[in-house]
Amino acid sequence: MSTKDERTVNETVEADTPMKEWLVNYVGEQHEPGDDQVTVEMIVETMAKESEQQQQQMQQMEMLKQAGQLASSPMMDPSKNEAAGELIKDQYNQLQNGNNQGEPPAEGGEETTPEG
């Protein structure tokens, strides 16, 4: 980074317009600088953090939307896909009975075959 860039990054931002005043106050609340001076670097860091958080929230919302679409798909509907219904029943029964069928054997143990 050149010395000119370093000066710009470390430059204190003056709140000489209403928008800058809002920005300086917001970034100041986030960083709480000891000298109450907000620099360009602080603003860049705050905006990057805010952008990352917003992207994560959007990804989570999209995954929830997709999960709902998958759950309502015919493939997951036991009345339209008998295999899915049987799989759900089997998994539920395994959980209720504490049956570990289908799980890998314990270390050093032998694999057992399902009865039936």
Better-scored residue on pLDDT, 2 or 20: 20
Taking the CA atoms of the chain, what radius of gyration do you get in angstroms?
A: 28
Is pLDDT of 13 > 80?
A: yes
68 phi-psi bin (left φ>0, alpha ψ -120 to 50, beta other): alpha
The three-point CA angle 7-9-14 to 5° equals 90
**pLDDT value for 110:** 54
pLDDT at 24: 92
Residues in the chain: 116
When pLDDT is averaged across residues 67-71 and rounded to a whole number, the result is 74
Give residue 44's pLDDT.
92
- pLDDT at site 81: 75
Sketch the domain layout of the chain as residue ranges. Answer: 3-96
Q: What is the pLDDT of residue 41?
A: 92
CA angle 7, 27, 34 (to 5 degrees): 75
Determine contact, residues 76/84, Cβ cutoff 8 Å. Answer: yes
pTM above 0.75, yes or no: no
